[in-house]
Amino acid sequence: MKKKILDNVKTIFYALVIALVIRSLFFQPFYIPSSSMEPTLLIGDRLFVSKYSYGYSRHSFPFSPRLYGKRFLPKRPARGDVIVFKTPADNRTDYIKRLIGLPGDTVQISNGDLYLNNIKVDKLRTENTKIINCGKRIINVNSFIETLPNGINYEAVYNEEGTMMNTDKYLVPINHYFFMGDNRDCSKDSRFLGSVGYVNFNNLVGKAQIVFFSNDKKKGSFFKFWKWHKSFRIKRFFKGIL
């Protein structure tokens, strides 16, 4: 009997160690709780983030232990990557945004257009209006396909009733990055220097790779199986993130 209990304890211990290794070194699941990355990511999406994409820092591990001050096996992110990072304000909270500005870049919004290094980012209007979440509100937005200098394109939306037309010119410090949400007028991101601002390379957790599950809570909880046909977003299952 004691041997059986000991064997079960060992099995659970080994399983936890394996799960910890996978979570720390390879892939970690994340849940999307806000609308700041709509329409790319929706509230209720669950996704996998690759931990190895940019190498490893203390934030790659649970509870962010202060074991090593730099990044191990560092790999620089590419402009346009959708990345999970720890906010500089507390080094604890996970945010997910799109990488817009690299170290040394200037970033500015002028007359509603995004500029990188004083060059306007190309954008193409896709449709007149689209309905998007903005916190607890529903808003109409103008939708554009923006194309970054490295050719990466994505859909970004701007509030139809008024957007952030003009900002200061942001100069991204060395070893830092500038992030923005695709839902431009409903995103707390690097434009807000007091709360997010520039993100240190060591604060990057990993690259968002794939949505493996998505459930719309407004149409039914996961535990209400009789509403799964309404709440499950089947088309989003195993959808790559661009």
- As annotated, the active-site residues are 36, 97
| Continuous segment of H or E residues that includes residue 171 | strand 170-171
Alpha carbon separation from 148 to 28, 32, 40, 42, 114 (Å, rounded) = 27, 24, 16, 22, 10
Map residue 94 onto helix, strand or coil.
Answer: strand
Q: Which residue, among 159, 177, 154, has the nearest Cα to 100 in the 3D structure?
A: 177
Residue 51 CB contacts under 8 Å (≥ 6 apart), including other chains: 23, 24, 25, 26, 27, 28, 60, 205, 206
